[in-house]
Structure 1
C-alpha cells in the first residue's frame, strides 16, 4: 500500500499549515527556563466496532514521522536512506480512525466525517459517543484529542473508505482476538498510544460479554 519510491528531508517551510515550531520562555522557582514547542492541530480519534462482523475497524497508513523515528532509533541519522534496507513498510501504522480539527464544525461532526471518509460508514452524530478528552505530545505540543466510540453495522456502509484527496488509507477489520494480542505483555506495535488506549477502553466497556 505504501508505493513510496524516494524519501528525502528538507527544511520546514515557514508557512506550514500543520506545524509551527517556537520556543517558550518562563520563570519557574526563580530560574529562567525555556522549552521548544510545536503548535499543531487538535484532533479526534474514533473507536469503531462493526457489530455485524464482530470486528474492530482500524486504519493502516504510511506515517513519515514513524518511518523517520524507526530509522533514527536504529541508525542515529537519516542520511542516505536505502529503501532496500529500510523499506517504507516499517513506517506503516495501525491506528484508530482519526483526523485533525481544522474545520468550523463541532468535534463530533468532524468525527462523523472522518468515519465516512476513512472507513466508509455513514452514521448520524447521535450514535457517536464521547469517551474521553486528553492531551497528546505533552513534551512537544500538548495538543488536545477527543476520543469517541461508535458501533456500526454492515447496513451503515456507504463506500469503501480510504480517505480523501491524496490520502492512502487501508481499512482494516481486526478480530477481537487479534486486538487482544496487540495489548499483551511484550507486544511491539507501530500504533500510537491513542489506539492502544482505545482498544483497552473497548474491552473494558463495550466488548461483547462472551469475549
Structure 2
C-alpha cells in the first residue's frame, strides 16, 4: 500500500483487554455520506452503478488465503463481476456540512440540482467494523424531473452510470433470498424507504 494514499491508511492498534495484550490490524478510511434518491415525478429510485476494485478483488480471491498477484484471468473473472448497484454517495473530504457534501454528490453523480436543506437525515452508522469502521451518514432526498440539470456520471475520472428503478423492481432486491453485488448500505436504505416512505405512494 503506497504511504501517500489519500483514501486508506493501514495501521495496527495495540490494546489491553481482560489483562491480556492484544492487537488488531485496521484500515483508516474517510467518512462518507449516502443518499437515497427518489424521483417523485416518475415514482422511481435513482441509483448508481460503477466498477469497484474491492468487490472485484473479493470475488477473484474467494477461497484464497493470500492476495493474488499478477494479471487477472479476465475470461474466468470478467471486469463485470466488480460492477455494483449502489445508493448515491461520496467521501467526506471537504470542510463543508454533511448536507452540502450530500447535495454535491447528488449533482455530480446523478445530475439533480437540489438544496442542502432538502436532505432528510436518517441516521449515522459505521461500516466495515472489523477492519475500517468508517462513519457513514445516510440521507433521503426527493427530486423531480425539473431538477435534472445534467446526465451526472461523476467527476474527474469517475465512470458512473445512473440507474432508475421502480418500486416494484426495488422491492425484489430486499426479498428473502435476493442477491446483490452492492454493499449492505444499499439494502439498509431500501428497507428504510419501504418501511417509512413507501406507504405514502400507496405501495405496500
**Shorter-chain TM-score tier:** over 0.9
Do the aligned partners of 2:27 and 2:131 also contact (CA within 8 Å) in 1?
A: yes
Superposition pairs of residues 17-56 of structure 1, within 5 angstroms: 17-56=6-45
Q: Please point out which of 96, 101, 119 is paired with 1:105.
A: 96
Render the CA deviation track for 1:150-171: whole Å, top value 9, x for unaligned. 0000011010100000000000
Deviation at 1:209, TM superposition (A): 2.2
CA deviation string 1:39-93 (max 9, x = no partner)? 1000000000001111000000000000000111156653442111111000000
Q: State the secondary structure of the residue aligned to 2:62.
A: helix
Aligned pair count? 200
Instruction: Name the CA distance, whole Å, in 2 between partners of 1:35 and 1:95.
Output: 29
**Corresponding position: 1:67 with 2:61:** no
1:201: Cα distance to partner?
0.3
Residue 78 of structure 1: aligned partner: 68
**In structure 2, how many angstroms separate the alpha carbons of the residues matched to 1:126 and 1:106?**
11
The one of 182, 187, 204 aligned to 1:191: 182
Structure 2 residue runs of 5 or longer lacking an equivalent are none
Q: Structure 2 length as normaliser, TM-score?
A: 0.95
CA contact (8 A) 2:99 2:117 kept: no
Structure 1: gaps spanning 5 or more residues: 1-11
1:122 counterpart residue number: 113
1:132 aligned to 2:157? no
Partner residue of 1:5?
A: none
Equivalent residue number for residue 137 of structure 2: 146
| Runs of 4+ deviating beyond 3 Å | 74-77
What do the CA deviations read for 1:168-205 (whole angstroms, capped 9, x no partner)?
A: 00000011111111111111110110010000000011
Kept after mapping to 1: 8 A contact 2:47/2:88:
yes
